[in-house]
């Protein structure tokens, strides 16, 4: 039985990955999570107790990290401050967790000689014009726009340096926008669904034409597991499922599934420095490692996600008011 340490395993994508590991492997999973506002232990409820162990702690605390790393075969690193809007109002936690936290983990895997997979974002590449025929590839130059994406870019570069300078056995993945269950209501898709469920209108920043390349979080999980098991050490793999949609297209799909007028939208203040378009070319991952996404029907994926939020109001409801109060203060 392999032993895996999953950092950030109580957050959105990390908890979906933990479920994926339990369902598709015999691994024992230790989750290291600080349980910030973005996470809940409930996302791990129902998993077999003999397969999962939750440690509440900070990835930037070497005294916590080192003994946990010593006990496992591999570390899969999801923990991060992850929301762009928050990074614009308070960048410091992003530097602390995304940079110092990743450094702390790298020092532990270096010392303990353990396999490391670093989960990162396509935002490190900046953005593309709407009509640019190119998509991001592994050789696109880094050009991050926000405090969030610049700290993720910094963390990627630390991983590359620890591979080259110290021989750490690491891989990196940069994924596009995820959707699915357990995503915090501050993020775009859950925010729109829950605004409507609470009787308000969905809210679009700017002109709504910004494009994101959507992937179901289950496909992200299968890609990360594939890279962990078969990826080449020192390599970066882009993860994407050819899911480009403008924000207004996504809101129309949500309105339609919920039986509303597709154009009934609240237009709100734009995000400063708002990236225009992300688009992933995942040819390397598909051709080299044989990975393919399973959730290709976006409308069906959105419908399932909406149903999940309808059925799990007890999970998101307690966080909704505080989140909307933060947005209201910024004019979003």
Q: Which residues bind ligand DAU (CB under 6 A)?
A: 82-84, 121-123, 176-177, 187-188, 191, 203-205, 210, 212, 247, 271, 278, 332
d(CA 80, CA 269): 26
Q: In angstroms, what is the minimal distance from the CB of 13 to ligand NAD?
A: 4
CB of 95 or CB of 201, closer to ligand NAD = 95
104 binds, among ligand DAU, ligand NAD, none (CB under 5 to 8 A by kind): none
Which among 27, 33, 122, 195 is annotated as catalytic?
Answer: 122
Contact present, 60 and 96 (Cβ < 8 Å): yes
221 binds, among ligand NAD, ligand DAU, none (CB under 5 to 8 A by kind): none
Cα–Cα nearest to 192, from 151, 136, 137, 245: 245
Q: Is 103 a catalytic residue?
A: no
| Chain position carrying tokens 């933060």 | 326
Q: Quick one: 321 exposed, middle or buried, by C-beta within 10 A (0-12, 13-18, 19+)?
A: exposed
d(CA 129, CA 127): 7
CB of 107 or CB of 242, closer to ligand DAU = 242
Stretch of residues binding ligand NAD (CB under 6 A), selected from 34-42, 135-143, 291-299, 319-327: 34-42
Indicate whether 36 belongs to the interface with ligand NAD (CB under 6 A).
Answer: yes
212 binds, among ligand DAU, ligand NAD, none (CB under 5 to 8 A by kind): ligand DAU
| Chain position carrying tokens 């910024």 | 330
Indicate whether 262 belongs to the interface with ligand NAD (CB under 6 A).
Answer: no
Contact present, 202 and 267 (Cβ < 8 Å): no
Q: In angstroms, what is the minimal distance from the CB of 185 to ligand DAU?
A: 9
User: Which residues, in sequence order, are bridge partners of residue 180?
Assistant: none
Indicate whether 101 belongs to the interface with ligand NAD (CB under 6 A).
Answer: yes
Which one of 19, 44, 76, 78 is in contact with ligand NAD (CB under 6 A)?
78
Around Cβ 167, how many Cβ atoms within 10 Å?
12
User: Which residues, in sequence order, are bridge partners of residue 30?
Assistant: 5, 53
CB of 117 or CB of 152, closer to ligand NAD = 152
6 binds, among ligand NAD, ligand DAU, none (CB under 5 to 8 A by kind): none
Q: Is 156 a catalytic residue?
A: no
Binding mask 142-181 for ligand NAD (x = CB under 6 A): ----------x----------------------x-xx---
| Chain position carrying tokens 């003999």 | 50
CB of 191 or CB of 216, closer to ligand DAU = 191
Q: Is 275 a catalytic residue?
A: no
Which among 148, 179, 237, 309 is annotated as catalytic?
Answer: 148
Contact present, 15 and 43 (Cβ < 8 Å): yes
Burial 98-120 (b: 16+ CB within 10 A, else e): bbbbbbbbbbbbbebebbbbbbb
Residues whose CB is less than 8 angstroms from the CB of residue 214 and which lie 6 or more positions away in sequence, other chains included: 176, 177, 178, 179, 241, 243, 244, 245, 250, 298, 301
Q: In angstroms, what is the minimal distance from the CB of 263 to ligand NAD?
A: 26
Q: In angstroms, what is the minimal distance from the CB of 70 to ligand DAU?
A: 30
Structure tokens at 95: 């530097």
Cα–Cα nearest to 211, from 176, 175, 256, 261: 176
Which stretches of the chain bind ligand NAD, using CB under 6 A? Answer: 7-8, 10-14, 32-36, 38-39, 58-60, 78-82, 97, 101, 119-121, 152, 175, 177-178, 184
Active site residues: 122-123, 148
């Amino acid at each position: 039985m392999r032993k895996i340490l999953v950092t950030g395993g109580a957050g959105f994508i990390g908890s979906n990955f933990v479920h994926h590991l339990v369902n598709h492997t015999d691994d024992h999973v230790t989750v290291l999570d600080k349980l910030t506002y973005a996470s809940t232990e409930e996302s791990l409820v129902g998993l077999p107790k003999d397969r999962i162990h939750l440690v509440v702690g900070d990835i930037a605390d070497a005294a916590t990290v080192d003994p946990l790393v010593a006990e496992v075969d591999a570390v899969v690193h999801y923990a991060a401050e992850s929301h762009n809007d928050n990074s614009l109002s308070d960048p410091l936690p992003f530097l602390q967790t995304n940079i110092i936290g990743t450094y702390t983990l790298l020092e532990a895997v270096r010392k303990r000689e353990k396999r490391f997979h670093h989960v990162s974002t396509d935002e490190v590449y900046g953005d593309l014009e709407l009509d640019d025929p190119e998509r991001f590839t592994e050789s696109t130059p880094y050009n991050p726009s926000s405090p969030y994406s610049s700290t993720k870019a910094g963390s990627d570069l630390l991983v590359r340096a620890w591979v080259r300078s110290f021989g750490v056995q690491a891989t990196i993945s940069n994924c596009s926008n995820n959707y699915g269950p357990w995503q915090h209501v501050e993020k775009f898709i859950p925010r729109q669904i829950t605004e409507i469920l609470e009787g308000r209108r969905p809210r679009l920043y700017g002109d709504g034409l910004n494009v994101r390349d959507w992937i179901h979080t289950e496909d992200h999980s299968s890609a990360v597991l594939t890279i962990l098991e078969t990826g080449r050490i020192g390599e970066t793999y882009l993860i994407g499922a050819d899911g480009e949609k403008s924000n207004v297209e996504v809101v129309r799909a949500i309105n339609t599934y919920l039986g509303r007028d597709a154009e009934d939208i609240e237009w709100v203040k734009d995000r400063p420095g708002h990236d225009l378009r992300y688009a992933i070319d995942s040819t390397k991952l598909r051709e080299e490692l044989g990975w393919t996404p399973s959730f290709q029907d976006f409308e069906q994926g959105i419908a399932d996600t909406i149903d999940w939020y309808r059925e799990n109001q007890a999970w998101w409801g307690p966080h909704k008011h505080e989140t909307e109060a933060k947005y209201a203060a910024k004019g979003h």
